Amino acid sequence: MSGKIALAVGFADFSGADFASFLSEDSAAVSALFATTNIATARQIPAAQILFLYTRFAANGALEGTPAVGVRQIAQELRSRTLVVASPVPGDTIENAMGFPGPKTANLVFTLDRKGPAFAGFFCALFERMRDGENMLEAWIELAPQGPTETDNNPELVLLPEGGANRFRASPRTGVNYLPAFGGLSVAKFSKGIIAPARCVAFRRIPQSARPRRSRPCP
């Protein structure tokens, strides 16, 4: 299946342009898949069902400079189903960000190591699989398989699937894609979190030995 995904993908930089090169790289690659792309001005949040966020975090897990706002508040305000923190974040900071209270309405992705162009390649492959009928959790596991098949080519990412098995589906009337609140896959087996470069484990400490896996590049 081909064609645009009839959703808005957004890009927001809360870092004061420190991660501007990442935003440019990601938007150039990922935007080609979506019908609408919204890129916000500095420290603004665009309307988007899927948001790539470039930010630093305060010690308590809130976004730097916004002590009462974490990633969950951003996702709820936008009604985003997927929020990707696309700037690299240390493991202990990810723990703090995941521990910051807020409504659990979206799948959250945190980045340990982008691995250069592998980052955009991974998300292109993920969204293409979702466009073609897979839900997000199934597609993620296929791109970052657990067990002995792992390689060193994927970015190192942490997925916290609080929003469920999101799925792009083709409308029988229009043929375009949309994103329902939940897909058909049970969330229970993923409730402890998925670490893409490692095995599926309960999220308490990010394993230091985590290794990434292969993803395919954008077309």
Judged against a pLDDT cut of 90, whether residue 38 lies above it is answered with: yes
pLDDT in tens, 148-169: 655 678 899 999 999 988 888 6
Average pLDDT of the residues in 110-134: 95
Domain residue extents for the chain: 5-195
pLDDT in tens, 61-73: 999 999 999 999 9
CA 190 to CA 193: how far, in whole Å?
Answer: 6
Judged against a pLDDT cut of 60, whether residue 204 lies above it is answered with: no
Q: Which residue shows structure tokens 């043929």?
A: 175
**In 3D, which of 173, 201, 159 has the Cα closest to residue 71?**
159
pLDDT of residue 166: 86
Average pLDDT of the residues in 33-57: 93
Residues 6+ apart with CB under 8 A from 174: none
CA 113 to CA 90: how far, in whole Å?
Answer: 9
- Assign domain 5-195 to a CATH class: alpha beta
pLDDT in tens, 169-202: 654 443 434 343 332 222 223 333 444 433 222 2
pLDDT of residue 49: 94
Counting DSSP H helices and E strands in the chain, the numbers are 5, 9
pLDDT of residue 16: 85
Residue 90 φ/ψ region, left for φ over 0, alpha for ψ in the -120 to 50 degree band, beta for the rest: beta
Average pLDDT of the residues in 42-52: 91
Percent of the chain with pLDDT over 90: 61
